[in-house]
Chains A and B, each alone.
Chain A
Amino acid sequence: MKSNLKKLAHNGIALVAPITVPYQRKTDKPASYFIGSALREILRSASLEKEMCDGLLVSSFSLAPDTVASLAEAFDMCLNWAEQVPLGGASGVIGLRRAARSIEVGDADIIACIGGDTFIPEEFSNLLGRFSNCSIDGVNPYASGGANLSFALLTRAYMEAFNISREDFGKLCILQRGNARRYRNALFKESLSLETYLGARVVAEPLGLFDCVMPCAGAEGFLMMREVKAMELGLPYALLRASGERHNASNPVDMPFSFGWKDFKDNLYDACEISPEEIDIVQVYDDYPVMALLQLEELGFCAVGQAAHRLSGSGLIHGGKTIHVNTSGGQLSSGQAGFAGGFLGLVEAVRQLTGSALGNQFTHVKRALVSGFGMINYDRGLCAAAAILESAENEC
């Protein structure tokens, strides 16, 4: 099935006021607390009255039975536009796409986009066990391994297919931890050695403790508006240049090593009139190291099975330069605050592009690629999304 994937470009859409509600390992607060706290901090950061925000987009694993409508009341907002994206780690980029199109056609002026979750261990296990009907019937009876089971299977198959070692995954985890050490909000800031990585508790072979994200509570969010509005308000912003998504695109029979990004990546770069080597930073969805590597490969930075061999310093060597990867340390260092994990890369990209990183600012950051991945229904994740953002100074 071929989709019309040509129209991936966006014009004059700005991302403003990137906010992280610091992650917590323990809490008794509900999801609405974290989402609302993000909204408060976003408005404060942009010096904006709540009434000026006429759209609200949320993604949350633990908000149910409440919805974005409940939040409109909880936050006393009268909205022109409300949206809820239930697509896990793809929610951030896909939410951004929905919000951008709605602003482009004039359905909303200023949209707050927030991913946020609470983390209460007993409820978390129940939620994971009921992730989909197929997982209830076809995965959960196999010792209730959750996502660790699916990604252990994928990781081993990837290692065998491309001759990748645990040390190779360790390189990525250590690289991201290096970035996290300078990021103010990271839950894990201590240096990670290869020895510690390899010697960690086994979760599901070949996955060890440092291959798995720490579930926690928190939120990530930002505002979206027209570029002219951001300029009028005098707010620093990053521009959305192009975005795409693809669902259920992998080969259904074998163990999948591609999930849909390759189907639209050329259109994505074409829409910005750039090639991958003109990207300065990449924020890939890192629920497990194997997914981070597969995204780098499928998005065109190297051939499949090669990403681990290209890692160096703070990122990936491509086209004679280092493309910085997961500059805040990703979820592997910051923790996974539920669906906020799908917004973490966007928030960090906007910070890097506006020169407002929280401790790990890279220089000469003009373009960022952010990808999201989500929703294991049965034996594989289904939703792949990516967006290219640009610093405002870079505009022609």
Chain B
Amino acid sequence: MSVENSNALKQLARTSLGALATVQSREAARAIDESSQWVSDRLVIQCCQDCGRGHYPARPLCPHCLSENLWWKSYANEGRLLSFTNLYITLNSLFREGAPWRIGLVAHESGTNLHVFLDSDNFHIGQKVAVFSLSDTVGEAVFFAADPDACGVQGATSLARKFSMLT
């Protein structure tokens, strides 16, 4: 298969995946772009203006008080790793090429749990991680996490490029 064909197929598979994203997810991706702090030590998460609680994934009403007064709040990007895996088998052919995928679940200070791509195998449950967001190739917001001691904003920027290309 030619490189062009392979890339076209990849884009098609990725688009079909992204086409499913809900309105809220697209808003989240826009909010990240508009924060003009793409790859920063701040994390933009949907938050309720009435009760002040954060939620993820983004949704049309606050799950706690059911208010519709929602905004995008900038949080510190620290989190605690709840668990992680190396994913070998995927449902979408697009991801077969990059497997295994290192993926974790992070408890973030917004009171939400976030799935994240991880940048290495050197993680343990309970450790602090720095979470960064990026808007992937189909306009979905995804997160990745790194060891905060080993990865500043600069390191995260190069990781973001890597993950953007991967996803």
Contacts and interface: CB of A to CB of B under 8 A. Distances in A.
Interface of A: 125, 128-130, 133-134, 136-146, 148-149, 152-154, 156-157, 160, 201-207, 252-255, 378-379
A143 B103 contact: yes
A137 B58 contact: yes
B66 interface: no
Given A143-B90, A255-B82, A255-B105, A379 B113 contact: yes
A137 B25 CA distance: 6
A202 B25 CA distance: 31
B38 interface: no
A139 B92 CA distance: 13
Interface of B: 17, 20-22, 24-25, 28, 56-59, 82-92, 94-95, 98-101, 103-105, 107, 111, 113-117, 125, 136, 140, 142, 167
B86 A205 contact: yes
A235 B111 CA distance: 54
B114 to A, nearest CB: 8
Contacts of A149: 85, 87, 103, 115
5 contacts: A137-B24, A137-B28, A138-B56, A139-B115, A148-B89
Contacts of B142: 141-142
Nearest to A127: B91
B91 A141 contact: no
A205 B100 CA distance: 10
Contacts, number: 126
A156 B125 contact: yes
Contacts of A254: 82, 107
Contacts of B117: 142
Contact of B90 (A130, A133, A145, A255): A145
Nearest to A158: B83
B17 A145 contact: no
A289 to B, nearest CB: 15
Contacts of A128: 91
B106 to A, nearest CB: 10
A202 B24 contact: no
Contact of B57 (A137, A153, A205): A137
Contacts of A144: 17, 90-92, 94-95
Contacts of A201: 88
B95 A143 contact: yes
Nearest to A150: B105
Kindly name the residue among B24, B87, B136 whose own CB sees the greatest number of chain A CB atoms within 10 A: B87
